[in-house]
Amino acid sequence: MTLLDIENLTVSFPQHQGVVQAVRGVSLRVAAGESVGVVGESGSGKSVTCMAALRLLREPPSRIAADRLELGGIDVLRAGRGQLSALRGRVAAMVFQDPMTAFDPVFSIGHQIVETIRAHRDISKADARAEASALLARVEIKNPDAILNSYPHQLSGGMLQRAMIAMALSCRPQILFADEPTTALDVTIQAQILHLIKELQAEFGMALIMVTHDLGVVAETVDRVVVMYGGRVMETAPVQDIFDAPLHPYTQALMASMPGRTPGKQRLVEIAGASPNPANPPTGCPFHPRCAVADAHCTAEAPAFRALSDTRAAACWRLA
């Protein structure tokens, strides 16, 4: 069963200087129970794609268009406000990268989790609070009743991230979007949060979309990888294939930049140049200005994203 079905998604933001194309022609399908990692540099369109899938971007200024954009069989682009509100709890939920700004600072943690539960289910406030306490305990928060009475500013980053995961899971979603869920946390807490997300995914049978720029996170948490650059999908493949035999030059460059991937070298291998300006993207393949093997064809025309096997697809003229 396909839970997320995106075909030819574009997201743009009109500016005084022109139109910023944050996402350009992205297609993505995620099945029930599947784990997918979306990787790429900052500005590659990872988070915007997920926000658009949930219709969390303000419209206007954003403009979202797609040949198909469905979550749990619901046409997200044509859904009304009531449908979207129901979809964002029971079908899909999101863990944001900055929990301090995701929580409302003037309400307690308990108030916000209870409100989320009662918005989607016919349940008393007392029962919802008991369930919220059980959820906090499930995400390994000690003394959950005390945390329910706490405000966001009173909790550490790791504690807030756990509380956000509990709130995201409160309506038992079919698919969980995790947007850089460990960015602001120290290494020890990162590992705990990633382990917790995988454990809860298995327990609840959810699909998972892990948005990250950290390839180490990808290696630990997902089955399939989607590599994005310049608002486009460059390559998709099973996680082991991405690490063992990356095909697209951008994916190869990402792999080469990982610590320990280049034997005998102490310095990290950097990708020359800078990410493309979404307000003025390059012609042809968006990666060609930084690509060591680009030719005139790459500069003149963007390659189509096409299947190379049953499990792999990429957008590169050299793979034709």
The alpha carbon of residue 3 and the mean position of all alpha carbons in its chain are separated, in whole angstroms, by: 15
In this structure, are residues 207 and 34 in contact, taking their beta carbons and an 8 Å threshold?
yes
Distance from C-alpha of 173 to C-alpha of 14, rounded to nearest angstrom: 33
Please name which of 163, 156, 119, 120 lies closest in space to residue 140, comparing C-alpha atoms: 163
Question: Per the structure, how many domains does the chain have?
Answer: 1
Per-residue confidence (pLDDT) for residue 89, from 0 to 100: 82
Containing 23, the helix (H) or strand (E) segment is: strand 18-31
Q: CA 286, CA 301: separation in Å to the nearest integer? A: 10
For residue range 124-180, what is the model confidence (pLDDT) as tens digits? 999 999 999 998 998 888 899 999 999 999 998 888 988 988 888 888 899 999 998
What's the CATH number where 201 sits?
Answer: 3.40.50.300
As a dihedral over the C-alpha atoms of residue 53, residue 58, residue 59, residue 64, rounded to 10 degrees, the angle is: -30
Give the per-residue pLDDT at 184. 66
Phi, psi (degrees; rounded to nearest 5) at 178: -115, 105
For the chain, how long is the longest CA-to-CA vector? 66
CB-CB contact of 205 with 34 (8 Å): no
DSSP per-residue codes, 168-233? HHTT--SEEEEESTTTTS-HHHHHHHHHHHHHHHHHHT-EEEEEES-HHHHHHH-SEEEEEETTEE
Q: Which tens digit of pLDDT belongs to each residue from 60-98?
A: 889 999 999 999 999 999 988 888 888 888 899 998 877
What share of the chain in percent tops pLDDT 90? 54
CB-based contacts of 267, cutoff 8 Å, min separation 6: none
Which residue in the block uniquely carries the two structure tokens 């590599």? 227
The ranges of the chain with pLDDT < 70 are 184, 260-267, 320
For residues 113 and 118, give the distance between their C-alpha atoms in angstroms, rounded to a whole number.
9
Is 0.85 surpassed by the pTM of this model? Answer: yes
Could you tell me whether strands 35-39 and 207-212 are parallel, antiparallel, or unpaired per DSSP bridges?
parallel
Q: How far are the Cα atoms of 23, 78, 153, 248, 314 from residue 228, in angstroms, in the given order?
A: 10, 26, 34, 11, 11
Provide the residue range defining the domain that includes 212.
2-319
The helix (run of H) or strand (run of E) holding residue 48 is helix 46-53
Q: Are 287 and 53 in contact (CB under 8 A)?
A: no
